[in-house]
Amino acid sequence: MAASGGSPSPTTSSATSASSLATLALTPNGTNPPPSWWESVTKARSAILSLSSLLPSSVAATVSSLADSDRPALSLLSSSAAYGSVSLSLSSSSVSGSGSDPICHWLYDTYLSSDPDLRLIVLSFLPLISSLYLSRLPSPSSPLSGFEAVILAIYSSEVKSRGGRPLLVSVPDLSLPSLYHTPPKPAQVNHPKSPRSPTKIKLTPPPQPSVSVLSAPLEPQIAVKSTKRASILGACFDTYYSKISQMPSCSKVDLCEIIANWGGQFCPCRFELDENQHNFDPLLSSPSSSSSIEVKHLGDKPDTCSLPVDNVSKEIGALQIREGDRHCNQGEDNGSDMSVGTGTRLKPGTRVPLPWELLQPLLRILGHCLLAPLNSNEVKDAASAAIRCVYARASHELMPQAILASRSLIQLDKSARDAAKATSMSVGAQNSAAGSNVTTPTKQRLQEVMMGSK
């Protein structure tokens, strides 16, 4: 693996080093047969021992001990201590992100191996690598060739796996009663005057599902150009999404926090849908509104005299047009940046451009983190905070696709949390009822106790 030196290098040398590393990533290694069990274990142990030699001595012993397990690669993948140690070394090293960064060397060489479990380890660090890479782009003197080499290696494998084909999604015809409904073929009807000559009915073909393109065909790249940066990172996160069920929780939580920081919209607008859930219309919440309906003709003025002054001012204030900077305090929330339903405090991060090529796979990842049943509550809470930041960002920048997707995910998140809360309350009520039945003596039992005492 070529190195460009630890000192800050110009952009040209960084691009040259990244292109040379990406050329190696384009070599056809996907045709190699999968390694045997013993070969896979041997490669994983060698990779873990090599990684432990790059880490500080305080954590090297903990990481090297993972090589003695039956499945060392998966042990390293699920170890939160090893993940934190590698993340700290990757972000705080003096040569972090450069072509001479040993952690980037290890990630690059490990991803080029034919062992799928080792490749999962590299994918788990994609959120951190992308965050560090995008945060250092404004500084022209920052070395980025090491990060770019790892990103291009993941991108090249995605290009190879697609084989020049786009990612398609099939949307069924919503006019049918169900997704699995097939319209019956109409029978031939005999004419009453000539029963022997049946009338031919023109059979209409069943409606076909519409096919949409999720991602266009990818082209091989040897450098991360500014015009292709969003599509390259989006393709990398497509790879991450395809393996997301095998990603550790620490990687998912990091990605959710990074997405919230990328959105950078920590304003009250992100709680807009949650506030609407608790707001109510005073005209419809009165006791008489449920039993009687008042019919008003077009042109009648609303009767505001019967309403309290506070309610009228509230209704009028809800209709006013508020400027984004004044209403949201320029993206700040006066320090109250707490996520919904959690005690986690969102840390300020780098706000980056979010084109649809990059935002689309991130929204799918957030959907998995929100709704997958096996995810921990920490992952769901981090995703809940992140999707609200994305919704606020999309609302401010008027991105229709992002508004629709993020709004739908917020509604699904609220429905899932309400259902879980209702289930827990019902289970708690049943347990309390069962406990009271066991501990509370019945009338017959009291009579038996009194007879025994006599």
Q: What is the mean pLDDT of each run of 10 residues along the chain (454 residues)?
A: 43 48 46 70 92 89 90 93 92 86 94 92 95 87 88 94 87 73 57 56 65 86 91 95 94 95 83 60 35 40 52 54 48 39 42 92 95 93 93 91 93 89 81 63 57 56
pLDDT (0 to 100) of residue 124: 96
User: CA-CA distances (angstroms) from residue 151 to 94, 278, 354?
Assistant: 20, 44, 18
pLDDT (0 to 100) of residue 292: 35
User: Which of 18, 84, 82 has the alpha carbon at shortest distance from 47?
Assistant: 82
pTM: 0.71
pLDDT (0 to 100) of residue 334: 38
pLDDT (0 to 100) of residue 445: 57
What's the rounded Cα separation, in Å, for the pair 98 and 8? 8
pLDDT (0 to 100) of residue 447: 59
pLDDT (0 to 100) of residue 345: 36
pLDDT (0 to 100) of residue 73: 92
pLDDT (0 to 100) of residue 333: 44
